[in-house]
Amino acid sequence: MKQNNQKQVAGVWLDNNKAVIIRENEKGEYAIQNKIKGKESHGGGSEHSMNNAKQSDNLKYFKSISNQLSEFDEILIFGPGKSQEQLQNHLQTDMQFKNKKITIDTSDQLSDPQMVAKVRDFFK
């Protein structure tokens, strides 16, 4: 994987429901490494308790994503809505991401091959 100080790079497409992690393999080809499901929305309860549950779920979701990203030097986070900014903010509070380059970009729903192509083109 890591040859002669070559930077480890990864892309993450995400929305509220799932994250797709894309990285370069040993052959220098980009491919999907992992898919992480977000939590389903909570029904019932007061607005306050539902909001707390949603925040707790988001934290678990972002933690599971950040665990997959800790080995990378440069990370591209892209997707629709505000999820990329929320993940970037989460990573910036984590000391292990202090010296990593994190870029965010917006994008619509993409097919798996489109996601892989976007990450490959970004890191070319």
Of the pLDDT bands very low, low, confident and very high (cuts 50, 70, 90), residue 5 is: low
H and E: helices and strands count for the chain: 3, 5
Instruction: Tell me which CATH code domain 9-123 carries.
Output: 3.30.420.60
Residues 55-70: pLDDT tens digits? Answer: 888 889 999 999 999 9
pLDDT score recorded for residue 52: 85
Q: What is the pTM of this model?
A: 0.87
Q: Domains of the chain: which residue ranges?
A: 9-123
Residues 11-54: pLDDT tens digits? Answer: 999 998 899 999 998 899 999 999 999 876 666 678 888 888 88
Question: In degrees rounded to 5, what are phi and psi of residue 74?
Answer: -130, 135
